Amino acid sequence: MTLNFTAPEAGAWIVQELQAQGTDSDTANLVAGQVPRGYDAYARIFHPAMGPNGQSVPWSRIAARRGTVMHALAQFAPLSGIGEDGVPLAEDSWEGDAPGRDGLGGSELVALAPLLAAHTATPDEIYLALWNGLAFIHGGDQVEVVIADDPSLGSDENSRRAIELAGKAKDPAFCDEVRNGPMLQLDSGYRSFYLFCGDGGDLASPLWARTSLGEQRQAPNMAWPKDRSWLMSTELYEDSTIVGGSRGLIDALLGCTGLEAYEVTADSRLDAAGDTRNELPEADTVPFDPEELAGEYFAGDGN
């Protein structure tokens, strides 16, 4: 099924529910700040970290290696020993990279989508919300383009070719009607989303657009069926996804081997204050002394 741009009224109920329970900073840091209260159960799906060789690594494996605790409210920095800026804070810090900040990964979405579709009476009518700040949507210089030279062409020809291809790559992926159309607005100005309607297949691998750089596919920031039997939400720049739904759905997510999911409640904290079982290592505040380091190096030199 093709994704169809739709009016934001289909998501007005989410706005109303979030506003009714409060939009203060304390509430915003709770599960209920993303997925409203009222569902039978909730789950938090952790986005995998990236290993030194580019492989996906679950948080539980990193915790087991460092002796920290993997639990439903874990925060990656104290669990892994890597600071928010990506700098290791301890000698045993995780050697890979933190989870990406671009949403739920493709393999996790493929595992999640059929479970969601199986727990709604309207699997052919699912709404998908996409953040309006993504570079490919609007095009322009915010789209990063790397074009390799064609070895069969000369320098001047490659230059002209690069300019032409870069120009095409920076064209807006969405038409003016969509880009300038109404959006679903949650709280502050940056939480603005284009809303589309599709089905379970679209949810598993949504095709937002085809550009000169290829197909633009990524997980939606939010998704829910017409009957509102569940709601999936990935807050911008966060490393986990929240799902609220029936007891049966949440049990299915917790038992899915393709997901690292833990049960939470509507009142569970998702900020640093929620992780009371892991301590953030203190950064080394001793000033770096190059002369001292050099002395230690040469002192150990047998020559």
- Range name among 45-59, 95-109, 121-135, 209-223 with the lowest pLDDT average: 209-223
Q: In angstroms, rounded to a whole number, what is the distance separating the alpha carbons of residues 20 and 254?
A: 29
Shortest CA distance to 246 belongs to which of 130, 126, 106, 121?
Answer: 121
- Is the separation of the CB atoms in 43 and 242 below 8 Å? yes
- Rounded (10°) CA dihedral 230, 209, 175, 145: 120
The model's pTM is 0.86
What single-letter amino acid sits at 257?
T
Q: How many CB atoms sit inside 10 A of residue 125's CB?
A: 16
Residue 300 pLDDT grade (very low, low, confident, very high; cuts 50, 70, 90): low
What single-letter amino acid sits at 112?
L
| The pLDDT of residue 107 | 95
Res 293 pLDDT > 60? no
Tokens matching residue 214: 């290829």
| The pLDDT of residue 288 | 47
Per-residue pLDDT tens for 206-223?
A: 999 888 778 889 999 999
The H or E element that residue 98 is part of is none
Pairing mode, strands 222-225 and 214-217: unpaired
Per-residue pLDDT tens for 238-247?
A: 999 999 999 9
Return the higher-pLDDT residue of 55 and 166.
55
Per-residue pLDDT tens for 53-99?
A: 889 999 999 999 999 999 999 999 999 999 888 889 999 999 999 99
| The pLDDT of residue 159 | 78
- Is the separation of the CB atoms in 278 and 69 below 8 Å? yes
Domain that holds residue 278: 4-299
- Our count of domains for the chain comes to 1
Return the higher-pLDDT residue of 300 and 118.
118
